[in-house]
Every structure is written in structure tokens, then in C-alpha cells.
Amino acid sequence: MKILHIEAGRNLYGGAKQVLYLLEGLQKEGFENILITPTGSAISKYATMYSKVYEIGFLGDMDITFPFRLNKIIKKEQPDLLHVHSRKGVDFWGGMVARLNDLPSICTRRVDNPEIKFLAKFKYHFYDYIVAISDGIKKVLSDVITDQSKLKTIRSVIDPSPFRNTESKEKFLAEFGLTHSDIVIGVIAQLIERKGHRYLINIMPEIIKEFPNVKVIFFGKGAMENKLRKMIKDLGLTMYFIFAGFREDIEKWIGLLDIVVHPADMEGLGISLIQASAAGVPIVASSVGGIPEIVKDGINGFLIEKGDEKGLYSKLLILLEDKSLREKFGKNGMKIVDKEFSVENMVKEYINLYCKLVK
């Protein structure tokens, strides 16, 4: 079976990483992959091992040239099925072009923000299946998709092995300018509004009163960086925060964090939380979107309400005070990932879906 995939992400994390896992797994099972991706995207150089790659420009929702370019590739490659993995306009046009070519199609939805209902109904009408990466996203989609039988949940996953092969403690301390006495909190997310970094910043003065040896590392980049730096400076907390940027070697460092915090306002699932659990790190996160599907309250971490700074403060204090609880939550998280978030399961579920559409 030949599958044509579209992934519009430029960086190799989140959704793009999921696509790479899927391409590799499909190739092992004898499938032929074709991938359409933005020019110069990070996924392109890795995907060539598992797929034929077309790098083209993406201009967003109103890119009226995209359907013509997609149609040209479909005519040339004659795939058996189209699988759209992204938004940025490709989900709007992909299903329509597939329908015009009498080609079965699937759209994977990775974010839980609401869409304009009439546009969403129109867009998803053309797809045979819409796959949500969490039950939280599925619930959002159920409001705009009339035929509920078209909705499926196939969770995002990771390969846990790299997250259990960390660098040495000494290298970690040297890399980020830390000391042996520091307790390290990590936030692994784009520096954008909806990820909620501000909530952690706001409670840090009180945290530091109790634990002056706490340090926070922000892994990620984004439009909010300057604003977050200013918030931290205005509170006189610059020495407690480290901006590490986007790290392609994140798997080497996560397991050396003491706690991962993710106070997001919305989140499809949270790949960084699966990574943290795989590495045996306890989590404090907002109970939004698909997060409760990976963070089990009181088992591998704590859940708080969206925007609840008091809750974030109290749960962080519990973990900061109790190293044995951090270790217990970490071990539980590793078990959850191994059982519920394996690459093999994700690939198998997609193959089952493909086989329903391609006889």
C-alpha cells in the first residue's frame, strides 16, 4: 500500500516527530511512504530514510496554489490513500483534493483549540476518518463532526529508550550552570501564551522563600521569550531561570530534572509529558485537553485547574519537600508510558484504519 503523507511542521518535535515514528513503522511493515513537507523543514532529512520526500512551500489557509500542487503529486505518484497530519491550510485543502481524485483520506488533529463550526464541518466532511491524538481532542471535534463514526482516537507516542539513556549528572550541571544542591524544575514547551509559563513565574517568589535552591529551565523557543524574560527580571528572579532554547538533544537531559511543570491553558496531549514520564520524572500539569490521559493525578504527578496558581504552588511544594514521592511518581510514569504509549501500538492502529479504507 502506498500512503501519501502531508506534514507542515518545520521543526522535528511534536506532530512532526509522530509522523517520523509512523513513517519508520510503516516502512518496516512493507508500506510505501511519500511525504510532502515544507522546504527546508527538519523532518525532511530524516524522513528520506523511510519515505520519498517532496519539499514544497506552504502559504497557509488561503494558499489557493496548494491544491493544484497537491493534485499534481497525486497524479504522478498514484497513492492508495492520503494522510494529512497538519493544519496550516493543508487540512482544509487535502480532503477536497483527495475527494476529487476518488482517494480515501484521513486527517489527524493534534490541537484542542475550537474551530469555526461551519468551516470545520465543511473541511472534515471530505475526510473518511478524522483521528484525534487524545480523547480530549476527540471531545472538541465531536461538536463539529456530524458523523461520529468518522472520529477515532489514536494517541501520540514516543520511543522511551532514548529518554532512559541520560547524560551524567556532572555533564548536566555543567551544561546548564547548576550545582549539586539545586532542585531543578523543567518546562518543556514553546514559549507561547497558551503554554502558561507565566503561572510558574508568578509563584516563584513564594517557592524560593521555601526552597532557595530551586532553579527553573525553560526548554523551547517562541514569541513570548522577551516578555517572559522581562517578567522574571521585574521580579528579581533572573538568577533562578535558565532559557535553554529548543534542544534537539532533549532526551539526554529530561531524566535529570527533578520535576516537570506544564501549566498550559490548552493542550492536545503533551508529548513533553510523555517524554518526562518515560524518563521517570514527576509532573505537575493543568487538567486540560488530553493531559489527564498521560498525567494520572496522584500516581505519576499532580493535576491542577487551568490558571490555578495556588494549586500549582501547593502541588509543587509537596513534590519539592518529598524526594521519595518524586521517585515513586517517576517509576509509575515509566510504567504508564510502556503500557499505553508505545510506537508499535500507534503504527498498528493506523494500519488497521488504512486497511478499512483500502481494500
Nearest Cα residue to 304 out of 324, 325, 322, 283: 283
Spatial strand order in the sheet of 2-6: 52-56, 32-38, 2-6, 81-84, 105-109, 129-132, 151-153
pLDDT band at 193 (very low <50, low <70, confident <90, very high): very high
Q: What is the pLDDT of residues 83-129, one digit of tens each?
A: 999 877 789 899 999 999 999 999 999 887 777 888 888 889 999 99
Query: In the predicted model, is pLDDT for residue 6 greater than 90?
Result: yes
* Claim to verify: residue 260 and residue 349 sit in the same structural domain: no
pLDDT, one tens digit per residue, over 38-49 is: 998 989 989 999
Judge if 35 and 148 occupy the same domain.
yes
User: Quick one: 151 and 165 in the same domain?
Assistant: no
pLDDT value of position 14 = 74
Co-location of 255 and 305 in the same domain: yes
Domain range for 124? 2-157+342-357
Burial (0-12, 13-18, 19+ Cβ within 10 Å), 80? middle
The answer to whether residues 328 and 347 belong to one domain is: no
Domain match, 97 and 195 both: no
> Per residue in 24-64, pLDDT tens?
999 999 999 999 999 989 899 899 999 999 999 877 767 88
Closest CA to 261 of 341, 342, 209, 207: 207
> Distance between CA 304 and CA 315 in Å, rounded?
8
Burial class (CB in 10 A: 0-12, 13-18, 19+), 87: buried
Question: What is the band of 9 on the pLDDT scale with cuts at 50, 70, 90?
Answer: confident
- Dihedral sign from CA coordinates of 17, 18, 19, 21: positive
pLDDT digits (tens, 9 = 90+) for 237-270: 999 999 999 998 999 999 999 999 999 998 878 8
Cell of 164: 532512559
What distance in Å separates the CA atoms of residue 352 and residue 343, rounded to the nearest whole number? 14
| Residues 174, 119 within the same domain | no
CATH of the domain at 49: 3.40.50.2000
Is 189 found in the same domain as 130? Answer: no
Same domain, 153 and 178: no
Rg (CA), the chain: 21
If one counts the domains in the chain, the total is: 2
**303 & 351 share domain:** no
Are residues 283 and 171 part of one domain?
yes
Cα separation values, 99 from 75, 102, 104, 146, Å: 13, 5, 7, 18
Longest CA–CA separation in the chain, Å: 65
